[in-house]
Amino acid sequence: VGLGDDCTPSAQPRSQRDNEYLSHWLEQGYVVVGSDYTGLGTPGLMSYLNSVATAHAIIDSVIAAHHLDLPLSPMWALVGQSQGGAAAVASARWATEFSRGTGLDYRGVVATGTPANIDDVVITAGPDMVLPPGLGPIASAYAAYILAGFRE
């Protein structure tokens, strides 16, 4: 978890909590595909609010998994939490279009803790917004993260 290139999921071991959660689904016969966010661990800015780049990264991962010559069902779904929830919603928006012609059968999305209406929050907040005590540094970092994403 984080904004630095060293925080990319593929560069970090999974937490015990994540391992238990993902193992549950693997034991049920599901395939789990995860994608690094575009720009995280690679040159350039991470595309936090770029729904098209995010959707391509995730949907391309699903397509790639189906090219591994494994006995996979064409049915697939999206699940995400927090930033992953936003990525799942973005991917849901583009799922059928970006996977057209692949034989995949998109079924739906589950997204929790999803950042929403970020642009409205940033505009409403403005420079005079008073933050709750102790939230200042976190909010400032998140605001910078959001603004960098708007550049996309």
Q: Extract the tokens encoding 122.
A: 């940033």
Q: What confidence category does residue 100 fall into, taking pLDDT thresholds of 50, 70 and 90?
A: very high
Q: What domains are defined for the chain?
A: 5-115 (3.40.50.1820), 117-152 (no CATH)
Mean pLDDT across 95-103: 97
Mean pLDDT across 29-49: 81
Q: Is 51 left (phi over 0), alpha (psi -120 to 50) or beta?
A: alpha
* 35 against 59, higher pLDDT: 59
Cα separation of 123 and 73, whole Å?
44
Give the least confident one: 35-49, 59-73, 85-99: 35-49
Query: Considering the chain, what is the average pLDDT of its residues?
Result: 84
Q: Report the first-to-last Cα separation within the chain, whole angstroms.
A: 21
Cα separation of 152 and 92, whole Å?
20
* 54 against 3, higher pLDDT: 54
Residues 58 and 35 sit within 8 Å (Cβ to Cβ): yes
Distance from chain centroid for Cα 29: 23
Q: Would the CA dihedral through 64, 114, 106, 52 be positive or negative?
A: negative
Residues 89 and 113 sit within 8 Å (Cβ to Cβ): no
Q: What is the pLDDT of residue 51?
A: 86
Q: Extract the tokens encoding 111.
A: 């997204």
Q: What is the pLDDT of residue 125?
A: 67
Q: For residue range 57-81, what is the model confidence (pLDDT) as tens digits? A: 999 999 999 999 999 999 999 999 8
Q: For residue range 103-137, what is the model confidence (pLDDT) as tens digits? A: 999 999 999 988 777 667 666 766 676 666 766 66
* 26 against 120, higher pLDDT: 26
Residue 127: C-alpha distances to residues 68, 141, 142, 147 (Å): 51, 15, 15, 14
Mean pLDDT across 10-37: 88
